[in-house]
Structure 1
Amino acid sequence: MHCHPHPPLRRSVLLGIIASATLISGCASVADQYQDPRDPWQGYNRAMFRFNHQFDRWLLKPLAKGYQAVSPAVVDRSISNVFANLADVPSAINNLLQFKLARASTDLGRVAVNSTVGVAGIFDVATNLGVPSYKEDLGQTFGYWGMGTGPYLVLPVLGPSNVRDSIGFAIGTQLHPLTYLDSNWHWGGVALHTVDRRADLLSADAVFDSAALDRYSFLRDAYLQRRKTLVYDGNPPESSDEAMDDAADDHD
């Protein structure tokens, strides 16, 4: 006569296995969450990420949808062009600070053409003429001169950043023409620019939501990689890990 385990015993064993697997998985998740040396403040960053997500969900996104619904495409594009034209001013200054004189001249040329022929930047004539846009900022300038990124940092409302870029943003606002407008015009411009930029990103929401299992990590990694690429003008150096792998392949 064969003796079979009692059903409660089987359930206990099964529950024990499930609990162990869950505990191991949870430990792995915690380890993965805090091992990234670029992100030592991840506890705070994830909390701020959740806050920003709710802020966007309940305020920015509805405003952006309403703005897009009432603004004809040509008006929406014209407003985006105006803000892009204004952004060429600090870009020119930052290219000058990096001794990229040709790029600084190009930025100033864009401002001159778009502000005159383009009617205060409403029409992006410079791009239509094949004049490139660089959009350098102070965070890139700091990186160009060797300043490290510092830890990854999620800013309230503004979103992904790092210590270097946050300092650059705070100081760099003094280079933007909007800063020198009357207070009402300044904050009105900031609000309009924020909603306009969010409206331009609405089409990317579905791709972002479907592509990212962990939206926080996805956005962090994408931001850090993009900033690294921008600092090195599209040609970032390979990481030490990649260099070691290449050396090992060459040795083999």
Structure 2
Amino acid sequence: MKDRDLSACRRLTGLVVLAILLLGTGCTSSPSRISEPRDPLEPFNRAVFRFNTDFDKAFFQPVAKGYRAITPDPVERGVTNFFGNLSDVTSFVNNVLQFKMSRAGSDVGRLFINSTVGVLGFVDVATNVGLPSYKEDFGQTLGYWGLDSGAFVMVPFLGPNSVRDVFGDVGDIFTDPLFNLDPLFKVDRDGVYWGLVALRAIDRRANYLATSQILEDAAIDPYILLRDAYLQRRHYRVHDGNPPAIEGEEDFWDEVEFD
């Protein structure tokens, strides 16, 4: 494969995994690659992948399309920014846990600017003034301190994950501002929380309606593409964009073909 084509494939699958971190989407086909050591649960994972795919096509995708159809673009961008602003809280905690104080300071600056000037985060002012968004999570923190990702696992409704990141997700819940609505703001947490969780999921799925089609159109096994893209992306993020090489990674990319 030419270097240019290889680079394009890497960028393309990076976009795909952003679209499907919440839900595994696409269609399934027979395995086209030898068994992956990081995927000892492959038969189970493929069954969950099929379930998630069917659920997405029958329910989640139509809801996301309806949301996109009735929501003006400025409002949709504002909703995305609002939830992105909330996620900076979790990012701040995890940057502190990793002793990345300059990044933690950037998270605090983003929260302050976007929550005030940016009207509760509906406008991403911080990015425009040069404060980058890092979006660290507890799975990354565990990886930073040396915990291996463990086996790849497909979670019903939630899509691709790993044993390490499943434990990390628990930590993320407790730093999620939505989870703490009741003690923070003295509101009915259950009603508001689940409403906002549903809106966040629908908004995220709507943002990737176009890119999810890439998975369905891939000339290789979509499950393999999803799994390897997820594991590679998490490896990349744990090492802040400068990961050590993964044995056999280049062999995989040499097999990638797109119509």
Following the alignment from structure 1 to structure 2, what is the Cα–Cα distance between the partners of residues 193 and 96?
Answer: 25
Structure with more of its chain in helix, by fraction? 1
Residues 31 and 221 in structure 2, CA contact (< 8 A), matched pair in contact too? no
Report the RMSD for the aligned CA atoms in angstroms: 1.6
In structure 2, give the amino acid aligned to 1:237: P
The answer for the alignment partner of 1:20 in structure 2 is none
Following the alignment from structure 1 to structure 2, what is the Cα–Cα distance between the partners of residues 43 and 152?
Answer: 12
Q: Secondary structure at the match of 1:161?
A: strand
The answer for the alignment partner of 2:244 in structure 1 is 237
Largest Rg, 1 or 2 = 1
Q: How does 1:1-252 map to 2 (within 5 A)?
A: 32=33, 35-181=35-181, 182-240=189-247
Following the alignment from structure 1 to structure 2, what is the Cα–Cα distance between the partners of residues 143 and 226?
Answer: 13
Residues 32 and 221 in structure 2, CA contact (< 8 A), matched pair in contact too? no
Shift in Å, 1:207: 2.0
Q: Tell me the alpha carbon deviations over residues 97-129 of structure 1, each in whole angstroms, 9 at most, x when there is no partner.
A: 000000001001100000000000010000111
- Give the direction of change, closer, same or farther, for the CA distance of 1:239–1:121 in structure 2 (3 Å limit): same
Q: Report the more deviating stretch, 166-175 or 71-80.
A: 166-175
In structure 2, give the amino acid aligned to 1:70: I
In structure 1, give the amino acid aligned to 2:39: D
In structure 1, give the amino acid aligned to 2:168: G
Q: Secondary structure at the match of 1:79?
A: helix
Structure 2, unpaired ranges of 5+: 1-29, 182-188, 251-259
Following the alignment from structure 1 to structure 2, what is the Cα–Cα distance between the partners of residues 32 and 240?
Answer: 16
Shift in Å, 1:172: 1.6
Shift in Å, 1:176: 0.7
Residues 212 and 218 in structure 1, CA contact (< 8 A), matched pair in contact too? no
Shift in Å, 1:31: 9.1
What is the total number of aligned residue pairs between the two structures? 214
Shift in Å, 1:242: 7.7
Q: Structure 1-normalised TM-score?
A: 0.82
Shift in Å, 1:203: 1.2
The answer for the alignment partner of 2:17 in structure 1 is none
Q: Report the more deviating stretch, 132-141 or 203-212.
A: 203-212
Q: Tell me the alpha carbon deviations over residues 30-80 of structure 1, each in whole angstroms, 9 at most, x when there is no partner.
A: 7945x2100000010000000000110011100000000000000000000
- Give the direction of change, closer, same or farther, for the CA distance of 1:171–1:154 in structure 2 (3 Å limit): same
- Give the direction of change, closer, same or farther, for the CA distance of 1:212–1:242 in structure 2 (3 Å limit): closer
Following the alignment from structure 1 to structure 2, what is the Cα–Cα distance between the partners of residues 118 and 242?
Answer: 41
- Give the direction of change, closer, same or farther, for the CA distance of 1:113–1:31 in structure 2 (3 Å limit): closer
- Give the direction of change, closer, same or farther, for the CA distance of 1:242–1:128 in structure 2 (3 Å limit): closer
In structure 1, give the amino acid aligned to 2:144: Y
Following the alignment from structure 2 to structure 1, what is the Cα–Cα distance between the partners of residues 51 and 216?
Answer: 17
**Per chain length, whose mean CA-contact separation is higher, i.e. which structure has more relative contact order (CA < 8 Å, sep 6+)?**
2
Q: Secondary structure at the match of 1:179?
A: coil
In structure 2, give the amino acid aligned to 1:63: V
Structure 1, unpaired ranges of 5+: 1-28, 244-252
Shift in Å, 1:131: 1.1
Residues 155 and 161 in structure 1, CA contact (< 8 A), matched pair in contact too? yes
Q: Structure 2-normalised TM-score?
A: 0.80
Shift in Å, 1:170: 1.8
In structure 2, give the amino acid aligned to 1:138: F
In structure 2, give the amino acid aligned to 1:155: V
